[in-house]
Chains A and B, each alone.
Chain A
Amino acid sequence: MDLEQQLQLHFGYGSFRIGQKEVIQALLSGEDVIAMLPTGTGKSICYQLPALLSSGTTLVISPLLSLMEDQVQQLRSDGVKGVIAINSFMSKDDRETALRKLHTYKIIYLSPEMLQVAFIQKQLAKLVISLFVVDEAHCISQWGPDFRPDYLRLGQIKELFGNPPCLAITATATRGVQEDIRAMLLMGRPIYLIYSVDRPEISYRVEHCETVQAKIERVQQLVETLNGPGMIYFSSRMWAENVASLLKRKGVLRVAYYHGGLATEDRLLIQQQFMNGQIDVICCTSAFGMGINKKDIRYVLHFHYPIELESYVQEVGRAARDGQPSVAILLYCMEDRGLVNMLLERERLSDEQLKQLLHTVKMFNFLKAGDERVLLDQIGCDEITWRTIRYQLEAKGVLQKERVKSFSVDAVFCRVREDEQERYQQKQKNLELFLRWIRTNTCRRKRLLLYFSEELNYQPMDCCDNCGATLKQFQKTKSAQESVSLRTWKETLVDLFGQSDIARK
């Protein structure tokens, strides 16, 4: 089969990008694959194309709900039919309709949580599954920041579907994480297709600011002088909103904020405005942009840094997808430490909360989904934390499906705490490694690659601040401040409906 021809036919691309073809070939010949392709390579093609070329159905397990929906919409607008995302956002009616005609879909995206539902497993098991894909596979590592216990069962579930060829794909997995993925998915002898995480077009830079105020001023300065479009990452919604409105007051007009708290329709408008060049700067939280593929992002600033290097690589990887030079600037300030520690602690319940939660669970004979909701709201426990606790309960045999067996609150309490402690220490360690990268005065690219057990083979121009790169080439050449004033509704309507052939009034 001429894969290039198929690629052109289905997606309109003339040639493959690094690693894509190798992954596709391996999958089509029935192998299990663990693939690591650098950010911005178009990882989804690696399973979408084989999905279309296989006779059965492809299951894609994706941990990020919004990413899933974005991909489905994107595929549909590429003209690929028979794609669906089944997740908890769906209305009950839509979900029922989808489940009834599962056999008509070529690609089914599922969240790991949905895959745990017995009824859905049963329906899926009736299909011929030709490919089992785990996207963003680094999430399934126990030690990743996005770990959720539901991933631990993916291997067993895969066997339920007759062990189809399996692809685990990610942009950021250290050796340890790769091994974790293999074990978790019960892969026998997978083919490892590991490509360098390096993005030679991106220049790395860390700037130290004395105070938060100084950092705000520096952001403003950078936004005014750097060549856009660009993104600024924040660790909270409030910060993203505040800095966006500050920039606006300072005359940077084409800026918007974006975070998980926006209504879906607003989210889509902002994304598309950014894609369409109506906005130059996006102030966002990590919720942004998983699904969007804007090619010409020229800079990524971190007002707050994430809790480990993997996330940082993912986020700066949004830049330079067109291969043109871009810059990643991390703004660091001592005061950030407190905030980051808070992020690490975020998912922990207090002793009292945890005990109360366990005592309440103990009172149930059967724990139904509806009960869980009420329970969590009562105690103020978020979904992810609960899933971790729930996993412990299941592992101890206390919870079997919905049935609750009698258990010792103290014993489970200790187990949960131990588990959290272990996880917390690992996160601390990851953070420490990232902080070392931030503080290093040797080549940042080399250190970054080292973290992923790679060596630096090629040092680009403008490698990093420690190699002497400056911001010179990333600066705006002309200071064209674009006007944003509204045109009249009549003009806009004529414009909207296109051409002058209807501008007859």
Chain B
Amino acid sequence: MEVETTRQAIVATILDCFKDERTIYGIFHLLKGKKSAQTIQDGAFFGVLSYFGLFPTLKRDELEKDINKLISNGQASLVEQDKVILTNSGKQKLTQFQTKNQYIADLRGWQYHSYTEEFWLRISLYVQVITHIVSGNRQFYPITHQSSVQRWVKKHLPKSADERKEKRNHIYDELYAFLSRCSDIQATIFVQQLSGEKRVGLTKLQLAEQLGMDETTVNLYHLSTVHRLLNELNDRQETYQNLSIFDLGLKKSIVLTESARKTFHLFEKGHSIESISRRRQLKQSTIEDHIVEIAIQHPQFSIRPFVCKELEERILQVSDMLQTRKLRELKEQIGSEVSFFVIRLVLARKKVQHGS
């Protein structure tokens, strides 16, 4: 049997969560990081937002190829047009993969995809700059041309030689501490990409060749490490007093699609869904989509105006009991007076709070 790629395994992971409730193109949009209400809601419902935007350059036919491969390997089967589920052997295979590749659990695509790269460039450039100037070498060629990154690094360099040296040592200590908590391979891929005074970092392709992996896998390892670092900076700021400045200003409080933002704006001004729909000349269902999107994005956003506590609990209970996210089945059970919108809203909120 052919070796499967990491991307295939990720696709299988999402298939497993989607069951036959979404088409394979749902996977495509999720991996590509399409910021549409549908994709974001699905991601939240099915608990797969951590894979959001991991493959921004993915092509449709690449995904189709992955799926066909899974089918021809007997790991997945087609249930109907564009809907595919994992077979038992596929599930087994997936469990094996997950046990063997613990780093996957470090991925936080949705939370960090929009600034992973910039954060990483800040670290790489900072390391390059501080190691150079501390050893008295002020002439070097920056590893990135991005002016926002260059400006940031410049702004955050200590002024005196002593402080710089101290800073360098602290950063070394913190990186060392962090990387010791990662897997060896995560640490290797992280460190080998960095450039310093004596050596220039490797590209992901070069690392892939050296480690006998494909470039996608190296990139996933890389993302997992960076996401993990971002996560730790959040959770244990006191351990990372020096590194924790690196993600400042990158965190966007909430990422919304342009249209949802407008809806949010009107909603905050006190307009109802109906009123927003009229003002914006959009269908009510579109506005409801926006509200669900906002509920996913914005942890402080209260869903109370749309659903009372009792109903929320009942919906969650039924969803738990039936083990499905098929809205129709849920609605039948809960009662036809409850709208799809309310069910979606509750499920969206639940998923987000359970940290996907």
Contacts and interface: CB of A to CB of B under 8 A. Distances in A.
A74 B139 CA distance: 9
A498 B165 CA distance: 11
Contact of B145 (A266, A268, A492, A493): A268
A468 interface: no
Nearest to A263: B203
Interface string A250-278: 00000010000000111011111101101
Nearest to B127: A496
Contacts of B139: 77-79
Nearest to A78: B139
Interface in A258-301: 264-266, 268-273, 275-276, 278
Interface string B172-211: 1001100100001001101110111111111111100111
A342 interface: no
A493 B199 contact: no
Interface string A482-501: 00111011101101111100
Given A269-B200, A273-B200, A496 B141 contact: no
Interface string B136-155: 00111111110100000000
Contact of A79 (B121, B138, B195, B198): B138
A247 B322 CA distance: 59
Interface in B219-248: none
Contacts of B141: 73-74, 77, 268, 271-272, 275
Nearest to A486: B210
Contacts of B17: none
Interface in A458-505: 484-486, 488-490, 492-493, 495-499, 502, 505
B134 A272 contact: no
B206 to A, nearest CB: 7
A269 B199 contact: no
Contact of A489 (B143, B192, B200): B192
A248 interface: yes
A180 interface: no
Interface string B322-336: 000000000000000
A264 B179 contact: no
Interface in B120-170: 121, 127, 131, 134-135, 138-145, 147, 168-169
Contacts of A73: 141-142, 145
A264 B143 CA distance: 9
A74 B197 CA distance: 17
B235 to A, nearest CB: 23
A502 B192 CA distance: 19
A265 B150 CA distance: 13
A459 B190 CA distance: 53
A454 interface: no
A498 B197 contact: yes
Contact of B147 (A94, A271, A272, A498): A94
A492 B134 contact: no
A69 interface: yes
B200 A278 contact: yes
A158 B29 CA distance: 50
Main secondary structure of the interface of A (DSSP, over half): helix
Contact of B188 (A78, A489, A499, A505): A489
Given A486-B192, A489-B179, A489-B184, A269 B138 contact: no
A496 B194 contact: yes
A238 to B, nearest CB: 15
A488 B191 CA distance: 9
B131 A498 contact: yes
Nearest to B197: A498
A493 B138 contact: no
Nearest to A292: B141
Contacts of A256: 206
Nearest to B187: A489
B18 to A, nearest CB: 31
Contact of B192 (A268, A275, A492, A497): A492
Nearest to B190: A489
A287 to B, nearest CB: 16
B229 to A, nearest CB: 14
B131 A264 contact: no
Given A486-B192, A488-B188, A489-B191, A505 B176 contact: yes
A145 to B, nearest CB: 27
Contacts of A79: 138-139
Contacts of A499: 135
A488 B187 CA distance: 9
Given A69-B145, A268-B143, A268-B145, A276 B194 contact: no
Given A489-B187, A493-B191, A496-B127, A265 B199 contact: no
Contacts of B211: 486
Name which of A78, A94, A278, A486 has the most chain B CB atoms within 10 A of its CB. Answer: A486
Contacts of B147: 94
B143 A502 contact: no
Contacts of B131: 496-498
A166 to B, nearest CB: 29
Nearest to A277: B200
B202 A269 contact: yes
Contacts of B134: 498
Interface of B: 121, 127, 131, 134-135, 138-145, 147, 168-169, 171-172, 175-176, 179, 184, 187-188, 190-192, 194-206, 209-211
Given A269-B200, A489-B187, A497-B168, 5 more contacts: A77-B142, A79-B138, A266-B205, A268-B141, A498-B197
23 contacts: A69-B145, A74-B141, A77-B140, A79-B138, A266-B204, A266-B205, A268-B141, A269-B200, A269-B203, A270-B203, A272-B143, A272-B200, A486-B192, A489-B188, A489-B190, A493-B179, A495-B199, A496-B127, A498-B135, A498-B168, A498-B198, A502-B168, A502-B169
